[in-house]
Amino acid sequence: MMEDCGWVDNVTFTPVDDTDFVGNVTWGEVPLTVDFTGYTTGTATRWAWDFGDKESTVGRNQTHTYTTPGVYNVTLIVKKDTAPEGQMEVKNGYITVTPTFEEALDAEGLVWKTGGDAPWFVQLNESFTGGSCGQSGAIDERHQQSWIQTTVTGPKNLTFDWKVSSYKGYSMKSSDALNFSIDGEVQDEIAGTDEGWQRTTYTLARGEHTLRWVYEKRSYSSTTGENCGWLDNVTLTDIAPVISFAPAPAMVAAGTEREVAIVADHFPEGLKNISLTVSLENTHAEITGVTSASMADTLSYSGVPGTTVTLSARDDGNTIEAGAEDVVLATLKVKGLTDGTAGITVSDAVVYTDNSEETVVICRPGAIDVVGLSPLPGCTHIPGDGDGDGLFEDVNGDGTLNADDVRVYFEHFESIFSQKNPRVFDYNSNGRIDFDDVVTVHRAMETDRT
C-alpha cells in the first residue's frame, strides 16, 4: 500500500566563502557618480577596486565619478583570512555611462528637455552617426507619449535623422507614430518598421523656435516592432545673409526724390567690411546720392548721379557684431524721372565677417515705381508720399499732412481721376476714388497730429 507522502532529512547549511559588491546606480548620463558598497564573508584585511576607466582605489565603500561615456567592467579584490591572496569579483559591463543628449544627438550647443509618460534616453546601441542617439521611452498604452524638445534661434537650416519601429495602420491617426513639430505645428510624422533612418531638412525663420519630437501610441494593437522612435544628428547651420531694398517696391513721384535703404537681414558672424554695386535697369529713375549708415566707419562710392553706383563700407569694429539683424548698409537717394518701373539690383557683393572670412550673401532685387503726377488745381507742388508707403496723402504737396489735404481731395475728385496714376490716391485700397478715401486721409491727418 502506498503511503502517499514525502520525506526530507539531513538539511545542512554550509557557509559560502564569497565576495560581492553593488553600485547605487549602474546607468546614467556623464558625469555619472556611483556609490560602491563591498561585501565579503570572513574577516577582510584589504579591499581593492578597479573601476574599469584606468582608475583604482582601496577601501570597502567607495564613491567614483565616471567622466567619459562608455561601458565599464568593475573589479573588487578582497584579501581576508579565508583568501590571503585575495578573492576577486568581476562584473563585466556593470556600469554604462551615456553621453549627454547634446553629444548623443550631435547637437552642439543645444539644451534638451524630455518628458511625457516616459522620457527619452540616450541609446548606445543604435545610431545614425556618432555611436549614440536618442530613443523614446517605453510606452505601451494608447494615447501615451514620450517627447524630447529644444529651443533654437533662427534663421537657420535644420537637418536631422530619425527612425521609427512601430505599428502602422491604415492612416496615421491609427498608427503608433513619431512626429516632429515647430512651435506646436506638426511638420511631419513617420510610422512602420520598414523605412530605416530618414534625413529631413527644414528652414527656420528668424526668431526663437521650439522643436519637439513626440513618439505617440495611438493604436489598440499589441506592440509591433520595437515600439519606439530614434533621433540623431541634429544639425543647425547658418543661412546666408540676405541683402535687399526697403521699401520694396519703393514708390516715388516723377521729379521728386525719396530714400531707399540697402538692408542685410542678419550677420551671424558680424561684419567687417562690404563692397557692392547697385544698378537700375533703365532710366525711369536715377541714384542721386548715398548716405552713410550708422554702422559704417568709412563709406565710399562712385557713379552718383547715375544708374550704376559702386560703394564700399567698413564697420567701426563694435557696431555690427555676431548675430546682428536688420543692418542698414547704406541709404540711397533715388529720383523719379519718368513714369514707369525700374528694377534695382545688387551685384558683385563681397562681404567679410568680423573674423576676416569672406561669406556668401544672397541679393534680392527690388523695384522703383515712378509715378507721373501733376499738381492739383490751386496747388503749386505735386502730391507727396511723406511716409513712403506708396500712397500720396500729402495731396497739396506742401510737405505736411493737414486739413488742407482733406479739402483739396474733397473738392477735386475729377482732377484726381484724371491723374495718370490715380491708384496712389486709393487710400483704403477698395479700387475706387471716393468719399471713403477722404475719410481715410482725415483719419491719417488726426493720427499724424497726435
Residues 6+ apart with CB under 8 A from 434: none
Kindly state the average pLDDT of the residues 366-374: 91
Instruction: Band the pLDDT of 384: cuts 50, 70, 90.
Output: confident
Same fold, 19-98 and 242-371: yes
* Cα separation, 100 vs 111, whole angstroms: 10
H/E run at residue 375: none
What are the φ/ψ torsions at residue 38 (nearest 5 degrees)? Answer: -100, 150
The C-alpha R_g of the chain, in whole angstroms, comes to 37
Written as nine digits, the cell of 130 is: 556618432
Kindly state the average pLDDT of the residues 97-121: 93
Q: What is the reported pLDDT for 136?
A: 96
Q: Which of 9-23, 140-154, 300-314 has the lowest mean pLDDT?
A: 9-23
Residues 6+ apart with CB under 8 A from 95: 23, 26, 27, 32, 34, 51, 52, 66, 71, 72, 74
Highest-confidence range of 3-17, 129-143, 150-164, by mean pLDDT? 150-164
Kindly state the average pLDDT of the residues 209-230: 88
Query: Under DSSP, is residue 173 helix (H, G, I), strand (E, B) or coil?
Result: helix
Residues 252-295: pLDDT tens digits? Answer: 988 889 999 999 999 988 999 999 999 999 999 999 999 876 66
Topology of the domain comprising 19-98: Immunoglobulin-like (2.60.40)
- Of 431 and 333, the one with more pLDDT: 333
Which residues sit opposite 237 in a β-bridge? Answer: 157
Residues 172-187: pLDDT tens digits? Answer: 998 999 999 999 999 9
3-class SS letters over 382-445: CCECCCCCCCCCECCCCCCCCHHHHHHHHHCHHHHHHCCCHHHHCCCCCCCCCHHHHHHHHHHH
Best CA proximity match to 52, nearest among 23, 14, 95, 87: 95
Q: What is the reported pLDDT for 210?
A: 98
Topology of the domain comprising 101-238: Jelly Rolls (2.60.120)
Kindly state the average pLDDT of the residues 14-36: 91
CATH 2.30.40.10 applies to domain 242-371 = no
Length of the chain: 450
Residues 393-404: pLDDT tens digits? Answer: 888 888 888 888
Best CA proximity match to 349, nearest among 266, 249, 241: 241
The percent of residues above 70 in pLDDT, for the chain, comes to 96
DSSP 306: B
Residues 6+ apart with CB under 8 A from 242: 264, 265, 266, 361, 362, 363, 364
* Cα separation, 28 vs 51, whole angstroms: 15
Instruction: Band the pLDDT of 149: cuts 50, 70, 90.
Output: very high
Q: State yes or no: pLDDT of 221 exceeds 80.
A: no
Q: State yes or no: pLDDT of 449 exceeds 60.
A: no
Q: What is the reported pLDDT for 130?
A: 63
Kindly state the average pLDDT of the residues 87-115: 93
The percent of residues above 90 in pLDDT, for the chain, comes to 58
Buried b (16+ CB within 10 A) or exposed e, 149-187: bbebebbbebebbbbbbbbbbeeeeebbbbbbbbeeeee
Q: What is the reported pLDDT for 438?
A: 80
* Cα separation, 180 vs 191, whole angstroms: 12
Q: What is the reported pLDDT for 129?
A: 66
Q: For the domain with range 378-450, which CATH number is right: 1.10.1330, 1.10.3470, 1.20.120, 1.25.40?
A: 1.10.1330
Domain ranges of the chain: 19-98, 101-238, 242-371, 378-450
Instruction: Band the pLDDT of 224: cuts 50, 70, 90.
Output: low
* Cα separation, 179 vs 211, whole angstroms: 11
